Amino acid sequence: MKYASWEQRLLRENDLSAEVAAFLACTRKSVRIDRHVAFGFPELEDMTKRYAGCRAGLALLHHWERQRHQESARYVTISPPQLVIDDAWLAEREQAPIPHVELWIARTADDLPPHGDESAALAKTTGDATLDGLLFDGTAIVKRREGKKAGAWLVSLI
């Protein structure tokens, strides 16, 4: 399978409007949406699994950012999406968490939880050539530490 076909399917299967419709049908004040780019990677003819996961995560981040502005017109508040890429994924460790994109949908802005790690500083580089090669002006990267674990990179659009 070629990457482009797989990415198109990923974006089609992760339509934010369906999540908003489901949210509007429930009584909760807010809901967290978290989507991994895959649960099993197909054999891709044209790139590595590591690179494909990062690239697909960025594609879903952009997809949801575009849809977020359209869906906000349906009387909901949607937080900016964030891509989470774990250090273990970049190190190609077995059982590494697959890159995923997360956001919140809420009835009002007051119903959204606090966004992001206020104490974390923006980074200029991740130090990983693969991930840095996919980033561009207009993306913000922040390192999230998890105790003594290495942590993950949070990527968002600015």
Average pLDDT, rounded, for the chain: 87
Determine the pLDDT at residue 122: 78
Determine the pLDDT at residue 149: 60
How many CB atoms lie under 10 A from the CB of residue 122? 10
End-to-end Cα separation, the chain, in angstroms: 33
Tell the residue number behind the tokens 């502005």, with chain if given: 69
Give the chain's radius of gyration (CA, Å): 16
Continuous segment of H or E residues that includes residue 101 = strand 100-106
**2-6: average pLDDT:** 88
% of the chain residues with pLDDT over 90:
47
Rounded CA-CA distance 121/74 in Å is: 33
Least confident segment among 3-7, 15-19, 115-119: 115-119
Least confident segment among 28-42, 48-62, 132-146: 132-146
Q: Using one digit for the tens of pLDDT, what is the confidence trace for 45-104?
A: 878 888 899 999 999 999 999 999 888 877 899 999 999 999 899 998 988 899 999 999
Determine the pLDDT at residue 138: 80
* Ordered alpha helix ranges (H), 72-115: 87-90
Smallest CA-to-CA distance from 68 within 99, 34, 36, 103 is with: 103
Rounded CA-CA distance 5/9 in Å is: 6
Rounded CA-CA distance 93/87 in Å is: 9
Least confident segment among 18-27, 99-108, 111-120: 111-120
Determine the pLDDT at residue 129: 85
Task: State the sign of the Cα–Cα–Cα–Cα dihedral 36, 40, 45, 47.
Answer: positive
Q: Give the distance from CA 115 to its chain's centroid.
A: 14
Determine the pLDDT at residue 20: 95
Determine the pLDDT at residue 130: 79
Determine the pLDDT at residue 119: 53
Rounded CA-CA distance 41/53 in Å is: 9
Tell the residue number behind the tokens 């530490």, with chain if given: 145
